[in-house]
Homo-oligomer: A and B are copies of this chain.
Amino acid sequence: MAAQRRIDLVLDSVKRLLRIGATGNLLNLLQKQHPADLAQIFGELQDKEKEAAFSLLAERNGRLAMEAVSELGPETGAALLATRSAEEIAKLAQEIPSDDAAALIDYLPEELSAAVLDLMRPKESGVVENLLEYDEQTAGRIMNPHVFALSEDMTVGEAITELQTNRDVEMVFYLYVVDERNHLVGVVSLRRLLLVSPETPLKRIMTADLMSARVDTDQEEVARQVASYNLLAIPVVDEENKLVGVITVDDIIDVIKDEATEDIYRLAGVAGDERAFTPAAESLRKRLPWLGINLGTAFLAAFVVSLFEGTIDRITALAVFMPIVAGMGGNAATQTLTVIVRGIALGELTWGNSRKALLKEAAVGVGNGVILGLAAAAVVWVTRGNPVLGLILCAAMIINMFVAATAGTLIPLGLRAANVDPALASSVFITTLTDVFGFFSFLGLATIFMRYLLPS
């Protein structure tokens, strides 16, 4: 809270200094901020203010400006850069680590990103291009290729000297050990170096049994490894076990957040890479297909209703209550689906223990169906004076909430078994199912027991 208040104060000052054009003071203020705070400040400025503040800072302190852009996330960051010339971007991109530069350049319009890569120093652009060759969402794409490694023939004393001469290597806590052909052979913690005498060979104190990720490992899998084993960093190797990079826990946190966002979005039918400020035309295009599928399924439900038009024609009250059955089924299904999909994502739920989950969800569905169905029946009896209509509503709700619970469990587990992301397709299937079953059971029962419903 205190940190937030400080940022708000800085934000107010930035806006004021921009308005009165006090560039000297503004520059001083901006330069004192942490990149993460700058990113938050940029995020709250209007587009024009943001451009102005960024330009000012970029000219004086390109590194800080680019670190802030990096913290904005690749999409927003690239949008801020995209108004500048390829020359400027190329110069600025070389101020930050290659993995961060690659992420930003990847989001620039295609022509611009090609021009930027052309203009960067050959060595730097080579590294960035290499990173961009790995598939998205793999270890290779998010790793930092500048990894600090020690030779297995060194002593502890030599290792410390090596560390002292490489002061600009950042975030070193595990020291990776490689053989003469750069194969990853072990790891030593920084702390361990302090506990033994300088003559000790590294080989003697290193741990040879260490975890690593392959360049083509999915980033979600890497995140799971780092999180379950409480690692601070994980080395990345190529197919020959040669050390090519490192992924630190701060990058893993970004992956975990992104994957959580993706899960939340998929359940709601939103593309994983959409953000609050994605341009309207792009959002529209991204959301339309899912809404289109939903329209199709809505017509399917409408078709089921149309089968009973004769019944509704005679008892209009059915039209009043039928949305309740479908709606409650949909809500119950969403609850089940969410618990199951999240359980799969967190690794708690597998095919092996799915029977237990199914029985539980079915029991919860029927239980809630009975309680809420009776409550609904009572309301209908009181307001419409017809106990049979109430009982039909109750029965349809119980049936539909049972269907919701079983489908909400089995569909995501089935998708997972078929190697499809369970969050992706589940909600479309399930709301269709609860709509169709809801209308069918309610209107079907009403048709069967019609003679008790007609005014006598």
Contact = CB atoms under 8 A, between A and B. Distances in A.
A270 B335 contact: yes
Contacts of A249: 232, 249-250, 253
A322 interface: yes
A268 interface: yes
Chain B CB within 10 A, most for which of A44, A260, A431: A260
Given A257-B260, A291-B332, A368-B291, A339 B276 contact: yes
A28 B370 CA distance: 50
Interface stretch (A133-141, A180-188, A355-363): A355-363
A268 B335 contact: yes
A417 to B, nearest CB: 14
Given A71-B228, A298-B323, 8 more contacts: A261-B346, A264-B264, A264-B338, A264-B342, A283-B360, A294-B331, A299-B376, A323-B435
A32 to B, nearest CB: 11
A368 B290 CA distance: 11
A315 B431 CA distance: 27
A190 B276 CA distance: 40
A247 interface: no
Interface in A347-396: 347-350, 352-353, 356-357, 359-360, 363-364, 367-368, 371-372, 375-376, 379
A191 interface: yes
Number of copies: 2
A455 B339 CA distance: 49
Given A264-B260, A348-B276, A321 B302 contact: yes
A348 B277 contact: yes
Interface of A is mostly: helix
A375 B264 contact: no
Given A230-B250, A232-B249, A338-B270, A302 B323 contact: yes
A287 B368 contact: yes
Given A249-B232, A257-B260, A339 B275 contact: yes
B348 A43 contact: yes
Contacts of A339: 265, 270, 274-276, 283
Interface in A244-276: 249-250, 252-254, 256-257, 260-261, 263-265, 267-270, 274-276
Interface of A: 1, 3, 34, 36-37, 40, 43-44, 71, 76, 160, 163-164, 167, 171-173, 190-191, 193-195, 217, 221, 225-230, 232, 249-250, 252-254, 256-257, 260-261, 263-265, 267-270, 274-277, 279-280, 283-284, 287-288, 290-292, 294-295, 298-299, 301-302, 305-306, 309, 312-313, 316-324, 326-328, 331-332, 334-335, 337-340, 342-343, 346-350, 352-353, 356-357, 359-360, 363-364, 367-368, 371-372, 375-376, 379, 431, 435, 439
A360 B164 contact: no
Q: Determine which residue in A37, A71, A221, A335 has the highest number of CB atoms from chain B within 10 A of its CB, and name it.
A: A335
Contacts of A195: 163-164, 167
Contacts of A269: 331, 334-335
Contact of A319 (B221, B298, B305, B353): B305
Contacts of A327: 294, 298, 301, 431, 435
A164 B276 CA distance: 50
Given A298-B324, A323-B301, A261 B342 contact: yes
